[in-house]
């Protein structure tokens, strides 16, 4: 078989095939008909070209038969979209400029985490009276400065000062289902700098007022078997929070690395991949709407006064960003020659299944699990190597 590959543009290739009369006749004998022989021959030829040329198709291939007659040389061509070539920058220099943030856990963070755990195990009793300081309240609120004035919900002990100054005082005296509007100014400085010093109108609805009977910390750690002493509990919580903070720091560093390299890379984004990613984002939204809002997607679109095509346009920029990062990671994996062995995939997949219930483990799609495991291991190996630069 003679294979000649020609790149049409950065995202598409055209592969010309010439198959001898003898090989064509052999396929006809094996499949009995010329049509079946043609299909089998084209499939085998394309697979061989993909392996030989190192092609990575990203969409369906189109076949054009130029000549296929028994006893004669067979000619055909296949055109297919493929992953484009990426011109990476001097990424070693870029990576050296990006520092990992140290994981810092304050004593107040530990105290707050323990209080939240303690609160989650406490007894709650619904109250019919207006809210007072010390009650556990659930509220829905919106601000004139929130995007789209969308309402949010929060639950907290009234009077602990979790929200901006003056907000919780406005809730005292509200009963369930009562509403109230008021103006407050965000403090300056404020962690969300775009809100610092600005005045906003708030609309609040009291959802529920509850009395809290807190369980003692000593009784709680005894019942839960979390620790032998309160001091040991603090140590365990600190270790857990430090581990989480280190993980979060690592993820932020990885994202910064990819963002910087992607921005400095030269590439042409394939329209095929962008459209796939747009649809993936919309499918993810559909699942969220069904699971979290318990809404039919058509009803959801009517409520936000949009069509699915409008959402597709909205997701265009996010889809392009995701595709760009995907292509950069693939290019880095090739440049750094990152490989994952079969044993590593099997061992890691087994660990993942150990964290599942027996029912979940039986229902898991083995092909998807394998693909996910390979991808996760490859990424981890890549960033471990980049981290050593």
Tens-digit pLDDT profile for residues 208-233 = 999 999 899 999 998 888 888 999 99
How far is residue 387 from each of residues 226, 249, 380, measured CA to CA in Å?
35, 13, 10
Q: Which string of DSSP letters, residue by residue, matches 19-86?
A: E-HHHHHHHHHHHSSHHHHHHHHHHHHHHHHHHHHT--B-S--EEEEEE--TTS-EEEEEEEEBPPP-
Task: Give the least confident one: 8-12, 92-96, 368-372.
Answer: 8-12
Confidence of residue 110 (pLDDT cuts 50, 70, 90): very high
For 44: left if phi > 0, alpha if psi spans -120 to 50, otherwise beta; the answer is alpha
pTM of the complete model: 0.71
pLDDT score for 148: 60
pLDDT score for 360: 85
> Going by C-beta distance under 8 Å and a sequence separation of 6 or more, which residues neighbour residue 85?
10, 267
pLDDT at 70 over 90: no
Whether residue 142 contacts residue 227, with contact meaning beta carbons closer than 8 Å, is answered with no
pLDDT at 331 over 90: yes
State the average pLDDT over residues 52-80. 88
| Structural domains of the chain, with CATH | 2-81 (3.30.70.1050), 124-213 (3.10.50.40), 337-389 (no CATH)
Specify the higher pLDDT residue, 129 or 389: 129
Q: What are 361's two structure tokens?
A: 């483990």
User: How many angstroms separate the first and last alpha carbons of the chain?
Assistant: 45
pLDDT digits (tens, 9 = 90+) for 134-179: 999 999 998 888 766 668 889 999 998 888 999 999 999 999 999 9
Whether residue 182 contacts residue 170, with contact meaning beta carbons closer than 8 Å, is answered with yes
Specify the higher pLDDT residue, 102 or 182: 182
pLDDT digits (tens, 9 = 90+) for 265-281: 999 898 889 999 999 99
Mean pLDDT of the chain: 90
């Amino acid at each position: 078989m003679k294979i000649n590959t020609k790149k049409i543009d950065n995202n598409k290739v055209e592969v010309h095939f010439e198959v001898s009369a003898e090989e064509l006749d052999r396929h006809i004998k094996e499949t009995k008909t010329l049509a079946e022989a043609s299909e089998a021959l084209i499939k085998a030829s394309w697979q061989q070209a993909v392996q030989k040329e190192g092609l990575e198709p990203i969409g369906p291939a189109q076949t054009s038969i130029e000549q296929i007659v028994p006893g004669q040389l067979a000619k055909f061509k296949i055109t297919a979209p493929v992953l484009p070539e990426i011109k990476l920058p001097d990424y070693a220099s870029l990576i050296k400029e990006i520092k990992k943030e140290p994981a810092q856990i304050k004593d107040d963070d530990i105290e707050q985490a323990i209080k939240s755990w303690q609160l989650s195990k406490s007894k709650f009793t619904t109250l019919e009276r207006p809210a007072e300081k010390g009650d556990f309240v659930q509220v829905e609120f919106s601000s004139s400065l929130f995007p789209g004035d969308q309402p949010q919900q929060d639950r907290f002990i009234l009077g602990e000062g979790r929200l901006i100054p003056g907000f919780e005082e406005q809730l005292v005296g509200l009963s369930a289902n009562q509403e109230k509007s008021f103006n407050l100014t965000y403090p300056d400085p404020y962690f969300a700098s775009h809100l610092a010093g600005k005045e906003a109108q708030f609309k609040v609805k009291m959802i529920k007022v509850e009395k809290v009977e807190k369980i003692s910390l000593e009784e709680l750690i005894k019942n839960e078997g979390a620790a032998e002493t309160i001091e040991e509990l603090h140590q365990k919580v600190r270790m857990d929070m430090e581990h989480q903070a280190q993980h979060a720091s690592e993820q932020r560093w990885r994202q910064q690395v990819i963002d910087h390299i992607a921005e400095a890379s030269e590439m042409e984004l394939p329209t095929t991949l962008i459209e796939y990613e747009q649809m993936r984002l919309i499918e993810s939204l559909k699942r969220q709407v069904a699971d979290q809002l318990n809404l039919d997607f058509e009803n959801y679109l009517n409520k936000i006064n949009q069509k699915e095509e409008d959402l597709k346009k909205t997701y265009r920029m996010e889809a392009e960003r995701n595709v760009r990062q995907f292509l950069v990671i693939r290019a880095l994996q090739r440049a750094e020659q990152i490989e994952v062995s079969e044993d590593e995939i099997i061992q890691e997949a087994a660990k993942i299944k150990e964290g599942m219930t027996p029912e979940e483990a039986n229902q898991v799609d083995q092909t998807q699990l394998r693909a996910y495991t390979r991808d996760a291991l490859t990424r981890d190996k890549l960033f471990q190597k980049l981290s050593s630069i």
